[in-house]
Structure 1
Amino acid sequence: MSNFKFFSIKKTPEILLLNLFLLPIYPDNFKPACIGIFAFFSLLFHIKVVGFSIKFNNLFFINCSLFLVLLLSLFYTHNLKEGFSNIFRLLPLIIFPISFLSLKSDTTIFSNKTFIKGKLLFYCATLILFVCIFINFFLRGFVTENFFLNYSYRIIFQLGKYSMHPIYASLIVSIALIFSINFYKFKKYRLLFLTGNIILVINLILLSRKSVLIFMSVFYILYLFLNTKFSKKLKFFSAVFFIVLFITVVKLIPDISNRFNDFSSLSDSSKATSTNLRVRLTQLSLLAIKKEPLLGYGIGDVKDKLITLENQHQFFKNNYYNTHNQFLGITLSCGLLGLFIFLYFLYKNIKINFKDNKDNLIIIFIFVSLMFIENLLDRQNGIIYFSFFINYFSFQKKSIE
Structure 2
Amino acid sequence: MLNKPLDIIKLVVKKGDYSFLALTLSMFLLPLSINLSTFTLIASIVLKIIQSIYHKELKYGSKALKHSVIIGFVFLVYIIINSIIQTNLRHTFVFFEKQFSHFTLLFIIPFIMGNKKENKLPFYALLIGSLVAIIEVFALSVINKIPFDKYAFLRFLDIHHTYLSIYLLTLVNLMLIKLLSKNKLKINTKLFILIIISLLFWFVFSLDSKASMVIFALLFVVQALPKVNKKNIKFHIPFLIGIIIVFVVFNTKASVNYEKALDFRLQIWEESFKIFENNPFFGNLKSSEKDLLNYNHYLSGKYYFLDSDLNSHNQYLSFLMKYGLVGVSIFFLFMINMFKKVNVKSQKSKIREFLGWTVIIILVFYIENLLDRHHGIVYFSFMYNYYLVAVENEEI
Alpha-carbon displacement from aligned partner over 1:244-280 (angstroms, at most 9, x marks no partner): 2332223223576423x232xxxxxxxxx33111211
| Correspondence 1:154-233 to 2 at 5 A | 154-156=152-154, 158-159=155-156, 162-181=157-176, 185=185, 191-226=191-226, 232=229
Q: Distance in 2 between matches of 1:88 and 1:378?
A: 10
Deviation readout 1:188-225 (Å, 9 max, x if unpaired): 65555443333222111112222222122112221224
Is contact 1:23-1:125 (8 Å) kept? yes
Whether 1:72 and 2:81 are equivalent positions in the alignment is: yes
- Partners of 1:223 and 1:179 in 2: how far apart? 10
Shift, 1:315, TM fit: 5.0
Q: Look up the SS of the partner of 1:277 in the other structure.
A: helix
The answer as to whether partners of 1:13 and 1:41 remain within 8 angstroms in 2 is yes
TM (normalized to structure 1)? 0.79
Query: What percent of counterpart residues are identical?
Result: 18
CA contact (8 A) 1:288 1:332 kept: yes
Alpha-carbon distance in structure 2 between the residues aligned to 1:64 and 1:319: 33
Change in Cα spacing, 1:121 to 1:87, as seen in structure 2 (3 Å) is same
Structure 1 window deviating more from structure 2 (180-189 vs 202-211): it is: 180-189
Q: Which residue of 2 aligns with 1:258?
A: 255
Give matches, 1:248-397, under 5 Å: 248-253=245-250, 257-259=254-256, 261-263=257-259, 273-298=260-285, 300-311=287-298, 312-314=301-303, 316=305, 318-350=307-339, 352=341, 356=348, 357=350, 358-397=352-391
SS in 2 for 1:208: coil
Matched-pair contact (CA < 8 Å) for 2:25–2:37: no
Tell me the residue number matched to 1:27: 33
Greater CA drift, 63-72 or 163-172: 63-72
- Distance, in Å, in 1 between the alignment partners of 2:178 and 2:218 is 22
Q: Which amino acid aligns with 1:344?
A: L
- Would the aligned equivalents of 1:170 and 1:204 in 2 still touch at CA under 8 Å? yes
Query: How many angstroms apart in 1 are the aligned matches of 2:295 and 2:67?
Result: 40
Task: Look up the equivalent residue of 2:377 and give its one-letter code.
Answer: I
Distance change in 2, residues 1:366/1:391 (3 Å): same
Partner deviation per Cα, 1:124-181 (whole Å, 9 max, x = no partner): 22222112211111111124xxx6xxx223333x22xx12222112111101222345
| Residues 83-162 of structure 1: pairs in structure 2 closer than 5 A | 83-100=96-113, 109-112=114-117, 114-143=118-147, 151-156=149-154, 158-159=155-156, 162=157
Determine if contact 1:278/1:324 at 8 Å carries over to the other structure.
yes
Gaps of 5+ in 1: 1-5, 101-108, 264-272
**Deviations 1:325-363, CA, capped at 9 Å, x for gaps:** 111111121211112212232333355369631212321
Letter in 2 for 1:363: W
CA gap of 1:94–1:238, structure 2 versus 1, over 3 A, is: farther
Indicate how the Cα distance of structure 1 residues 50 and 82 shifts in structure 2: closer, same or farther if over 3 A, else same: closer
Cα gap change, 1:111 to 1:97, in 2 (>3 Å):
closer
Letter in 1 for 2:109: F
Kindly indicate whether the alpha-carbon contact (under 8 Å) linking 1:21 and 1:118 is maintained by their aligned counterparts in 2. yes
Residues 116 and 194 of structure 1: CA distance in aligned 2, closer, same or farther (over 3 Å): farther
* RMSD (Å) for aligned C-alpha atoms: 3.2
Give the match for residue 241 of structure 2: 244
Total equivalences in the alignment: 365
Contact persistence 2:31–2:164 (CA under 8 A):
no
- Structure 1 CA distance, aligned partners of 2:39 and 2:115? 22
TM-score (norm 2): 0.80
Q: CA deviation at 1:382?
A: 0.7
Give me the whole-angstrom Cα distance separating, in 2, the residues matched to 1:174 and 1:239.
20
Answer whether contact 2:26 2:36 (CA < 8 A) is retained. no
Amino acid at match of 1:110: N
Q: Distance in 2 between matches of 1:7 and 1:131?
A: 30
2:153 corresponds to which letter in structure 1? I
Q: Deviations over 1:25-74 (max 9, x none)?
A: 53011112222222233333444445369999444322433333223333
Counterpart for residue 41 of structure 1: 47
- Say if 2:30 and 2:37, in contact at 8 Å, map to a contact too: no
Structure 1 residues 36 and 190: CA distance shift in structure 2, 3 A: farther
Secondary structure of the 1:22 match is helix
Q: Distance in 2 between matches of 1:225 and 1:65?
A: 38
Gaps of 5+ in 2: 1-11, 180-184
Query: CA–CA distance in 1 between the matches of 2:14 and 2:286?
Result: 41
